[in-house]
Amino acid sequence: MALSKYEDLTDIHLDVLKEVGNIGSGNAAAALSTLINKNVQIQMPNISIVPFQEATNLSGGAERVVAGVMSRMVGGIEGMILILMDKNFVNTIIKVFFNQEVHGLIDMEETVVSALSEVGNIICGTYVSAIGQLTGIDVKLASPCFQVDMAGALMSVPVIEFGEVGDKILYIDKNLIIDGQTMNAEVFLIPTIDSLGTIMTKLGIEV
């Protein structure tokens, strides 16, 4: 039976998506290390398929203010990637580029926003590359959109865009250790149902 919603995913399908997350997370750590010229390690990410509401709760609650970078996947795979960055993560990046820290995430300077957008875009690209590594599918990213808001508001974007796939999302919770400091960055990967079918088919997995 063809996939019609995330709830139709079997354990085999989920294992494939988790492998995408594992590869993407490893690639993200390497790319970030090169970008900021610091030692970046990554603990084994916690990867799960969860309801949108649960994903919001896992990310610290709907009212937590975060910096978010979201980008559309286009080409052979369509969907969206959303990355949430907390204040500690933001300050680590900003200190590298500008030798300063932000007191709050609201009203950051344009140069700071540009740097964070680029970091988010690079991280998003590592997950797209992971899909390509596994499937051979050519996937591209549209220009990233950077926004500071409550986590619940940012999470509502993929809910509205892709609500027809069901109420589930691929949640990737990863702990990055940058020069000995542990911080968290959350990744939400939301391929469309048709794209999920394409991924599985390319890998010879029945859908």
What would the pLDDT profile of 75-90 be if each residue is shown by its tens digit? 889 888 989 888 888 8
Residue 65 to residues 5, 90, 186, Cα–Cα distance (Å)? 30, 12, 13
Long-range residue pairs from 74-77, CB within 8 A, at least 24 positions apart, any chain:
74/139, 74/140, 74/141, 74/142, 75/137, 75/138, 75/139, 75/140, 76/137, 76/138, 76/139, 76/198, 77/128, 77/131, 77/137, 77/139, 77/191, 77/195, 77/198, 77/199
Residues 96 and 36 sit within 8 Å (Cβ to Cβ): yes
Q: Report pTM.
A: 0.84
Residue 163: band (very low, low, confident or very high) from pLDDT cuts 50, 70, 90: low
Residue 69: band (very low, low, confident or very high) from pLDDT cuts 50, 70, 90: very high
User: Which DSSP state fits 38?
Assistant: S
The helix or strand, by DSSP H or E, that contains position 128, with its residue range, turns out to be: helix 110-135
Asked whether the predicted pLDDT for residue 166 surpasses 60, the reply is no
pLDDT digits (tens, 9 = 90+) for 16-25: 888 888 888 8
Residue type at 155? M
pLDDT digits (tens, 9 = 90+) for 172-186: 776 777 777 777 778
The β-bridge partners of 48 are: 171
pLDDT of 123 reads 87
Of 186, 192, 165, nearest to 47 by C-alpha is 186
